[in-house]
């Protein structure tokens, strides 16, 4: 239980120390969403499907790449909390990619014009 609490405290402190970057990212995301809302004839559903696919792909890649990025390896993950932390980080990265690419894919995915 101590390890879980420690992990949560570390995540909280990292969030507090990078608050400016989080606000900047939120502003960029809102700007991207505004561009998608303003454009007519876009398909939010088609954009969401593409963004979700890219998010899942990014999650899988991040799961295997993250240990090497911090000079570790999969063999070093011996405790279930380590695996949970790795999965959580990979899911977070994949979700961030999906959330930021959703309005981009939406803006690029126009519905076909209706005829008749």
CB distance 30 to 61 below 8 Å: no
Does the pLDDT at position 29 exceed 90? yes
pLDDT of residue 22: 84
* CA 17/CA 56 separation, integer angstroms: 28
Mean pLDDT of 77-91: 88
The pLDDT mean for the chain works out to 87
Mean pLDDT of 92-104: 94
pLDDT of residue 115: 57
pLDDT of residue 111: 61
- At residue 97 the predicted structure's pLDDT band, cuts being 50, 70 and 90, is very high
């Amino acid at each position: 239980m101590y390890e879980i609490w420690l992990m949560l405290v570390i995540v909280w402190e990292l969030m507090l120390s990078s608050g400016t970057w989080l606000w900047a990212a939120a502003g960029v995301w809102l700007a991207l969403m505004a561009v998608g809302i303003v454009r007519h004839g876009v398909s939010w559903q088609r954009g969401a499907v593409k963004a979700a696919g890219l998010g899942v792909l990014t999650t899988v890649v991040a799961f295997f790449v993250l240990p090497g990025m911090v000079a570790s390896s999969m063999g070093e993950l011996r405790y279930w909390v380590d695996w949970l932390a790795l999965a959580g980080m990979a899911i977070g990265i994949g979700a961030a990619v999906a959330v930021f690419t959703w309005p981009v894919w939406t803006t690029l995915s126009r519905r076909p014009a209706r005829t008749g």
